[in-house]
Amino acid sequence: MAVIRLKELKEKTPEELQAELLKMQKEISAEYASIKTTGRPKNAGKYKEMKRVKSRIMTLLHQKKGSGMTNEKTKEKTKEKTIEKAKMITKEKPKEKAKEKDKAI
């Protein structure tokens, strides 16, 4: 297994990344099996690097998956939620003040 750079991974499509992820998982499980049988990995650096590459691939897959929603839609939803929260807060404040006045009397 050669070292896979982040730049190379970014150029791949999600389908290619999925295939690479499966390949990485198989290699990691084979290396893990050798660790369990012999007590130490054949090549500790390779095992560590494979785990890192797997994490990079998973991160890129999640980033590409999440990019389906445009920023405009996200901004609109956030804006709507903020407006709803602001309305709820302004409605609650007068009620709380009235309750405090009743308690003071």
Across the chain, which has 105 residues, the per-10-residue mean pLDDT values are 81 92 93 90 88 93 74 71 75 60 62
Which tokens belong to 48? Answer: 């560590």
Q: How far is it, in rounded angstroms, from Cα 73 to Cα 56? A: 27
pLDDT for the residue 20: 93
pLDDT for 49 equals 92
pLDDT at position 81 is: 77
Q: Where are the alpha helices (DSSP H) in the chain?
A: 6-10, 14-38, 44-66, 71-104
* pLDDT of 80: 78
Contact partners, residue 3, CB within 8 Å, separation at least 6:
49
Q: For residue 12, what are the contacts with CB-CB under 8 A and spacing of at least 6?
A: 20
Tokens found for residue 104: 């003071």
Q: Which two tokens stand for residue 96?
A: 């709380």
Sole residue written with tokens 């901004």: 75
Rg (CA), the chain: 26
